[in-house]
Amino acid sequence: MTEIEVPTPKPGEIRVRVAACGLNFADLLMVKGTYQDTPDCPFVLGMEVSGVVDSLGEGVENFAPGDRVAVFGGQGGLAEMACFDAKRAVHLPDTMDFTTAAAFQIAYGTSHIALDHRAKLLPGETLLVLGAAGGVGLTAVEIGKLMGATVIACARGSDKLKAAKAAGADHLIDARTQDIRAEVKALGGADVVYDPVGGEQWEAAFRACKPEARLLPIGFASGDVPQVKANHLLVKNLTVLGVYWGGYLAFRPDILTGSLATLMAWHGDGRLKPHVSHTYPLEKAAEGLALLRDRKSTGKVVITIQDM
């Protein structure tokens, strides 16, 4: 913990009094310097926040002091005050509290763009979700079910599988004790694979795919980045579709804003029920990151900064 000067918003920025910050596996990668968007040191961790607009930089017109917002800033969230590009902020609906908002954008946004925009998941298809009780995995189960798929959830241990079941999973596989490939093939195989884990689980899921299946590498929580053999793609007519949610900010921000509008509407209608397994105050942020590192959380971990 360090005391720093309160930042002044630059042109095009808003300053936010931060209420809550959602933690992500990417924060751990930033600590190690291995994330694709790790900023130069020193920097403040915390990719996504919620809070109240405090002041405006020159040229900002669509926000006003006092507005409730959620922001995907990429960094800076584990602080009481932070400045962000206004283009990265969205207004919060009255139905969404700050803790939920801090847990919402990356996890739900990643899964929605992966399943809808990239894989074009169809009703009646079979979706296999690896890491199904994690921050993004749980949202993939929920959104996949909303989109009409039969969802196979794979996670480690009964407690995590219970969370996946509550999110709508039709079938459960315990990655600790069961053979993923055999279990999925017994259920007819997978049309779409959603994988934030990588490693051996990717290999097992790859071999359990139906012809013309689509595989979505979301991340590599196992630490093992799998290598794909092109001849295997050819033989089964498989497609691998990379998904980096934050990357759309650079080349198709309209995809992100459209997706978030859909997700916010679904939440307002009561169709999405975000799961936050742990909340910690700012001074215990390291404990929250340890939960992610040790895979002891389900859904999201949120750091609460200040009451509003």
Domain boundaries, the chain: 13-104+274-304, 106-245
What's the number of CA atoms in the CB half-sphere (13 Å) around residue 270?
A: 0
Provide φ and ψ at 127, rounded to 5°.
Answer: -110, 125
Structure tokens given for 163: 């969370």
CA separation for the pair 198, 221 (Å, rounded): 7
The amino acid present at 106, given as its one-letter code, is I
Structure tokens given for 7: 């930042």
CA separation for the pair 214, 126 (Å, rounded): 11
Residue 136: per-residue pLDDT: 93
Judge if 13-104+274-304 and 106-245 fold alike in CATH terms. yes
Per-residue pLDDT tens for 109-161? Answer: 999 999 999 999 999 999 999 999 998 999 999 999 999 999 999 999 999 99
CA separation for the pair 5, 250 (Å, rounded): 29
**Rounded average pLDDT over 287-302:** 92
Beta bridge partners of 83: 15
What is the average pLDDT value for the chain, to the nearest integer? 94
Per-residue pLDDT tens for 59-113? Answer: 999 999 999 999 999 999 999 999 999 999 999 988 899 999 999 999 999 999 9
Torsion of CA 154, 155, 156, 162, to 10 degrees: -110
3-state secondary structure the chain: CCCCCCCCCCCCEEEEEEEEEECCHHHHHHHHCCCCCCCCCCCCCCCEEEEEEEEECCCCCCCCCCCEEEEECCCCCCCCEEEEEHHHEEECCCCCCHHHHHCCHHHHHHHHHHHHHHCCCCCCCEEEECCCCCCCHHHHHHHHHHCCCEEEEEECCHHHHHHHHHCCCCEEEECCCCCHHHHHHHCCCEEEEEECCCHHHHHHHHCCEEEEEEEEECCCCCCCCCCCCHHHHHHHCCEECCCCHHHHHHHCHHHHHHHHHHHHHHHHCCCCCCCEEEEEEHHHHHHHHHHHHCCCCCEEEEEECCCC
Residue 53: per-residue pLDDT: 98
Residue 276: per-residue pLDDT: 93
Q: Taking 90 as the threshold, does the pLDDT of residue 18 lie above it? A: yes
More confident residue, 201 or 296: 201
Nearest one of 268, 271, 121 to 192, comparing CA atoms: 121
Residue 222: per-residue pLDDT: 87
Percentage with pLDDT > 90 across the chain = 85
CATH topology of domain 13-104+274-304: Quinone Oxidoreductase; Chain A, domain 1 (3.90.180)
CB 301 within 8 A of CB 276: yes
Cis bond before residue 42 (omega within 30° of 0): yes
CA separation for the pair 14, 66 (Å, rounded): 11
Choosing among 3.30.2130.10, 3.40.30.10, 1.10.1760.20, 3.90.180.10, the CATH entry for 106-245 is: 3.90.180.10
